[in-house]
Chains A and B, each alone.
Chain A
Amino acid sequence: MDMYVRAFQNQKTFSYLLMFSCLAVFLLSCKENSKEEPAAPELEFALNNAGLSLPEGFKVIIAADSLKNPRHIAVTDNGSIYAKLRELDDDNGVVFLEDTDQDGIMDRQEGFGNYAGTGIGISQGYLYASSDEAVMRYTLDEDQKVTNKTAPDTIVSGLLNKRQHASKSLTLDGAGNIYVNIGAPSNACQETDRTLGSPGMMPCPILDSAGGVWQFRTDKLLQTFGDGKLYATGLRNVIGLDWNHTDQSLYVTQHGRDQLNTLYPDLYDVKANADLPAETLYRVEEGDDAGWPYVYYDQNQQKKILSPEYGGDGQKTGGEDALDPLVAFPAHLAPNALLFYSGDQFPERYKNGAFIAFHGSWNRAPEIQEGYNVVFVPFQNGKPTGEWEVFAEGFAGVDEVRSPRDAAHRPTGLAQGPDGSIYVSDDSGGTIYRIVYDGE
């Protein structure tokens, strides 16, 4: 205190002291949030988990933000990220993100690939990325960096793109095959899409070229649609799919049909429309049929119900030979990514279970929208061992989403990092979240 008084009496010393202290306060106050700070050996966890609610012990890092509509993501063996963009960012449709100081926040980025799209995946030394018509392949070096950014191989091109359900999401089995979603450019295969009174086409001609998952080879270049094998059909639109290496099987999540009430107001009221049909998770084997457009799955009756376009009344069942879902979720939540967890970081109960990223609904209107979260389903030996549960929520940033525009962030992609963290991309706010288990 004596020292202070002396300093205060000395005008000049006081002035320097004041400036110094202001500067010190500035530096201290900014340190926590600044990304320009020098290398921090520890992970830079987000304040308040970036607004997300997670089970006890889980923490969030904002690995990246301000990206242009990142769809699916792939994480390399050293924790770098490849994100596929829905819209070109400065003519680039893929962004490569690196964390040079290992604080968890990506601090270097580089774009390439002059096409927008959704699908991306790493397998056997290659990076695969899709536009809405084609799948490209890039060669990776030992650091899993792309060596041929401007000259990728074309695995397959000319896939159907009629705007609606055009995302060519993909997964790989590590045994020479790539599985590509070709979504149906239709809601329910009516003669005129989404139009009152327009009947369902019988048989549905769309199924010849879409409404399923096609299998292509990874060792053949320049394949056409005709070179592919229809692996599973009757799937309206599969944005989330993953090859499960524990049982060597393909699992897919389907976006169920829309507009039961607007198209059939006599059969379905507004509440029924918000409630039906289920969003579904299937395990598919070659040749399987999930029933679209002829049936939908009613999670309340636990039955496949004949679609009203094909003579259904909300009660009549159908699709006897069609698959039953392994898990049925509430309607319209839009499952945009599926990830089987093989890491060791999370508690034991998560091992081999499925994470699903729900983009969030729009077709529940005027009821409150739902989804905008990541859910978890415990699995063992290819079968769910418990009910699905919300794993991460709060992405929307509002208590109630009335219209999708209200949501600040919408989960779209999932990937697992080399340390067992999981990454969630958001194509609305442009964020990539990394979720880390930091509990006892």
Chain B
Amino acid sequence: MIQEVLFTELFMMVSNTRQFLRRQIKNRIELLLCLVCCSLISSCGQKDKKEHQEPSGVPEEKVVVKVDIPAEIMSSGKAVYDQYCLVCHQADGSGVPGLNAPLIESDYVQGDKEPYLTILLKGSLDGPSLNNGAYANNMPGFVQLKDQELADLASYVRNSFDNTGELITPEEVAEIRNKKD
């Protein structure tokens, strides 16, 4: 019985919308209550949708060059990244939760050149000082790469994955390389 009334009611609500609104506008309290109920119904549906929603597809690799880095440097830097860094830090710089630090919008990458170049050259077997060492894997040093390769790599990473940072030169890499511990 209740269901019958309910469905008839809903049917008439839809087919007589204009009439319904005209009548109901006179009684704002009922309209308000009705709207609250409707919003509860829709929010209930949304919660359901959210719980079962699948995350959107693979994020695009973002290369936002705000600093003017020559294309050939970006390209050779990417080649170094793909060969030595990508496997741990991933193609989109997102890292691996708990294991390898992400490089996206990274303070470390965009910050002072010296600590950044130091970790690229010498690694950090005690764990990068990121998030209190929240990343378990060791960061190897890449001292065997040439100054130019490391400079291109650093310039590339500083201008990829939503990072921005000025160009790094081979001379700056050499300076950190030759610095005594």
Contact = CB atoms under 8 A, between A and B. Distances in A.
Given A22-B38, A405-B97, A29 B58 contact: no
Contacts of A399: 57
Which residue, B9, B82, B83, B123, has most C-beta atoms of chain A within 10 A? B9
B6 A21 contact: yes
Contact of B96 (A17, A192, A362, A366): A362
Interface in B94-127: 94-100, 102, 123, 125, 127
B34 A18 contact: yes
Contact of A362 (B30, B44, B59, B90): B90
A160 B86 CA distance: 29
Interface string A406-437: 10100000000000000000001000000000
Interface in B1-54: 2, 5-6, 8-10, 12-13, 23, 27, 30, 33-34, 37-38, 40-41, 44-45, 47-48, 51-52, 54
A24 interface: yes
Contacts of A32: 48
Interface string A350-373: 000000000000110110000000
A19 interface: yes
A244 interface: no
B90 to A, nearest CB: 4
A47 B52 CA distance: 8
Contacts of B90: 362, 365, 402-405
Which residue, A17, A47, A399, A405, has most C-beta atoms of chain B within 10 A? A405
A196 B140 contact: yes
Nearest to B26: A11
Contacts of B92: 402-403, 405
B144 A261 contact: no
B167 interface: no
For chain A, give the interface size range. 35 or more
B10 A21 contact: yes
A398 B96 contact: no
Nearest to B58: A402
A402 B91 contact: yes
Interface in A230-287: 258-259, 261-262, 265, 273
Nearest to B85: A262
Contacts of B102: 405
A403 B5 contact: no
Interface stretch (A163-171, A201-209, A311-319): A163-171
Interface stretch (A1-9, A148-156, A320-328, A382-390): A1-9
A320 B142 CA distance: 35
B47 A33 contact: yes
A22 B96 CA distance: 48
Which residue, A1, A33, A265, A400, has most C-beta atoms of chain B within 10 A? A33
For chain B, give the interface size range. 35 or more
Interface in A6-40: 8, 11, 15, 17-19, 21-26, 29-30, 32-33
Among all A-B residue pairs, the 8 with the closest Cβ atoms: A22-B37, A403-B90, A195-B140, A405-B94, A362-B96, A194-B140, A30-B44, A397-B54
A50 interface: yes
A265 B144 CA distance: 14
A265 B83 contact: yes
Given A26-B41, A164-B137, A48 B52 contact: yes
Contact of A406 (B45, B58, B123): B58
B41 A397 contact: no
Given A21-B6, A362-B90, A195 B84 contact: no
A397 B58 CA distance: 11
Given A8-B12, A22-B33, A402-B92, A259 B87 contact: yes
A366 B2 contact: no
Interface in B149-175: none
Contacts of A17: 5, 9
A323 B82 CA distance: 35
Contact of A25 (B6, B54, B95): B6
A4 B1 CA distance: 12
Contacts of B98: 86
Contacts of B99: 362
A232 to B, nearest CB: 23
Interface in A70-95: 86
B7 to A, nearest CB: 9
A1 B8 contact: yes
Given A11-B27, A163-B133, 19 more contacts: A4-B12, A11-B23, A17-B5, A18-B13, A21-B5, A29-B41, A29-B44, A164-B136, A196-B84, A196-B142, A362-B90, A363-B87, A365-B86, A403-B58, A403-B96, A404-B90, A405-B95, A405-B102, A406-B55
